[in-house]
Amino acid sequence: MQFMKGAVYLIGAGPGDPGLLTLRGAELLGKADVVLYDGLSNPDLLSHAPQAEQICVGKHGKSRIWKQNEIIDEILRHAKAGKNVVRLKGGDPAVFARTAEEAEAVLKEDLPLEIVPGITAALAAGAFAGIPITHRGLASAVALVTGHEEPSKSKSALDWDALARFPGTLVIYMGVTTANSWTQALLRAGKAADTPAALIRRCSLPDQQTIHCRLDEVADQLNPASRFRPPAIVILGAVTQLAKTMNWIKDRPLLDQTVLVTRPRGQAKSLAGLLRDLGARVLLQPAITIEPPEDWQQVDLALDQLSEYEMLIFCSHNGVHFFLNRLEERGNDMRALAGIEIGCIGRKTANALQRFHLQSDILPNTFHAEAMAEHIGQHAAGKRIMVIRASRGNDVLAKQLAAWGGKVTEVIAYQHIDVMECDAMVQQTAKDGEIDWVTVTSSATAQSLHRMFPESLTNMKIASLSPVTSRTLSDLGHTVAAEADPYTIESLVEVLVKANQ
């Protein structure tokens, strides 16, 4: 379907892991004007729609739950105004998600509609709880059952006698608060009390919980509901006993670890992804933002004088982007760098240079300023060298090159700005001592975190990207538990895992 103005898209958000969103879902989120999402949709998915107005329609225990007619009215209001509306729904829109009501309302108004499927909890359990809901020898059929029917019904529409005799796997959705009712109904109908059961909470997320018990023990495990809160499903049947042999999640090295990633927005994705792949629960809280300089006067002057320099050194990939993008904005191209040796601190910086079709002439094996200075050494004598850096970067490189006789000019191509407000949920999680690790990738980040978490930072284990960052943390009174070597994001994750063993 072509993306049209005033269209409505009902998209399945999947079971929780943000990586389980479909490609079509991500594509449509990226084109949305408005996104309505519920508490079962992972908020990380909203990163696909930074341009959209984002409206939460309720989260259990956190905010008021909107009534269905309110949600429908909001969808129609925006769609009629010509906006592209995404309704993001946990799991699959066609499974206990009241999609029919929303779809009927949209079609009644003659508005374009598309429904995008998602992975529902029953299917996710097969992968993430090690429970295949079908099995050639144990279960050739599956029944998906709601444990919470429409309250206005005069009597239950479920045939518990038939479900008790069902020759396969039963999956109970939304059955936490009603567990006593539906388990007793199954037992009265003749379902064996010792039927194996698995209770799965927050399926596919790092803090997923699984309890194995018998059918006659389910209600005691779920009551009170505060002990095993929704979202949760219950799987009944012999297939639940296969979880011991199919449980691959337990082997992930960062399982049960909560890691705070503090890189700027737009740069945190790679690190967060690596940590999630290893089982960590990742919290995102940028400590700094990366911004252009307050004015471009110094950069423009440096660009005007490029022909006078023999060496250009970039201290970071951010410096590459800001400096060379400014070069192009002024109507020039990379020919302006002809005859100038280019050095990069770090492989990532060199990779950024390649996006401008340039190669690094100088790339030390060790990715820090001192290594660059040593690499250049006496070759710096008498040369005019331009060093591109951040507003709060250190001046070690410039000083050492000057000591070798280089004529060094430092150019501030971008600035680090402290993030002044911390996300309330992250702040509370830190205060409660529930953050195991925090990753710190620069001295500027270290300084901002010291201000942001003046007390709780001492309760987190710190993983530092480099000795320079570690020294800043030490000066601020913090102990570093792990330090990357070499100074790359991949190495940072590796040493964090090793320190956690």
CB-CB contact of 20 with 1 (8 Å) = no
Angle (deg, nearest 10), helices 396-403 and 369-376: 20
Residues of the chain with pLDDT below 70 are: 1-4, 60-63, 149-156, 366-369
Match 């998600």 to its residue by tokens.
97
Handedness of CA 50, 53, 59, 62 (dihedral sign): positive
pLDDT of the residue at 2: 47
Show the domains of the chain with their CATH numbers: 8-118 (3.40.1010.10), 123-249 (3.30.950.10), 258-287+419-500 (3.40.50.10090), 291-417 (3.40.50.10090)
Q: How would you class 356 by CB atoms within 10 Å of its CB: exposed for 0-12, middle for 13-18, buried for 19 or more?
A: middle
Match 């094996």 to its residue by tokens.
365
Q: Token digits for 476? A: 């601020």
Q: Please name which of 285, 292, 315 lies closest in space to residue 420, comparing C-alpha atoms.
A: 285
Which H or E run contains 145?
strand 142-146
Q: Token digits for 204? A: 């596919």
Strand-pair category, 311-314 with 288-291? unpaired
pLDDT of the residue at 1: 43
CB-CB contact of 127 with 153 (8 Å) = no
Residue type, 394: N
Q: Could you give the CA distance from residue 315 to residue 327 in angstroms, rounded to a whole number?
A: 17
pLDDT of the residue at 407: 93
CB-CB contact of 230 with 62 (8 Å) = no
Bridge partner residues of 388 (DSSP)? 314, 411
Contacts of residue 42, Cβ cutoff 8 Å, sequence gap at least 6: 13, 14, 16, 17, 18, 205
pLDDT of the residue at 151: 53
Catalytic positions: 38, 59, 174
Q: Could you give the CA distance from residue 115 to residue 23 in angstroms, rounded to a whole number?
A: 13
CA torsion angle 428 422 317 273 (round to 10): 30
Q: How would you class 407 by CB atoms within 10 Å of its CB: exposed for 0-12, middle for 13-18, buried for 19 or more?
A: middle
CB-CB contact of 16 with 93 (8 Å) = no
pLDDT of the residue at 153: 53
Q: Could you give the CA distance from residue 242 to residue 150 in angstroms, rounded to a whole number?
A: 33
pLDDT of the residue at 462: 97
Question: Is 491 in a helix, a strand, or coil?
Answer: helix
